[in-house]
A = this chain, B = another copy of it.
Amino acid sequence: MRTISPPVGLPALNETDLVGQVARRLTEAIVQGRLPPGSKVVEAGIARELGVSRAPVREAARLLEQQGLLVANPRRGFFVRQFAADDIDEIYDLRLCVERHAAVLAARNLTPETRDKLRRQIDVLYEMADLDDPARQVEEDYRFHRLICEIAGNRRMLRLFDDLASELRMVIGLIGRLYDDPHEIARTHEPVLAAIEAGHPERIVAHIDYHLGHAWREVGRLVREIPPWPAAAK
């Protein structure tokens, strides 16, 4: 009778995770600009709107605070983070620093499978360009860079990337369309992959620098163009 637990492949279900769900909804609203930068996040309001009590809303807010999407003012509540131009600089500075390293590590760990994943992801970028879907292209762009961090194999690095990305998403959601030529953006990923395949650390760093440096300047320019911030409601 060596049958303790019959292993039937059933996916575990995680039903009520209110905190997580609230966090996701809030993030969505922020990224989509429905909660503009500087606006107050009224706990009771969100709670009522989502049909839950304030407790899970507060816990979700703490999460987003730690993630940098909200800032907490004691006794005054949570507010949607306002980004300044130098926030962009900070984020890209860190991204550059981390992604350089990630790419070098990724090259070291590269297998045929992971290489193909990167290749296919670039193809997806071309597809998005054809479909002219800027929002999804930005998302798929992140996915490419995230893949590099994933392949690098350092979970903390991956989390850091996700955190930075979620901050960037917010900014980019605000400035809307990012590039003029969506095919161009897909193309600029090619040399990065090529360098990783080649495996020369210097070349990898150089191409990452070039690629991200381009995005940095572009986003920086756009952010500076939209002076302070769009009417921080309330």
Partner of A94, one of B17, B55, B75, B157: B157
Rounded to whole angstroms, the CA-CA distance of A60 and B158 in the bound complex is 24
Partner of A156, one of B66, B74, B94, B157: B94
Rounded to whole angstroms, the CA-CA distance of A68 and B163 in the bound complex is 14
Q: How many copies does the complex hold?
A: 2
Interface size on A, residues (CB 8 A): 29
CB distance from A87 to the nearest CB of B (A): 8
CB distance from A164 to the nearest CB of B (A): 8
- Chain A interface, DSSP helix/strand/loop, else mixed: helix
Contacts of A157 in B (CB 8 A): 90, 93-94, 97
Given A66-B66, A93-B101, A160-B160: 9 more A-B contacts, CB < 8 Å: A58-B59, A59-B62, A68-B156, A91-B156, A93-B105, A94-B154, A97-B97, A97-B100, A97-B101
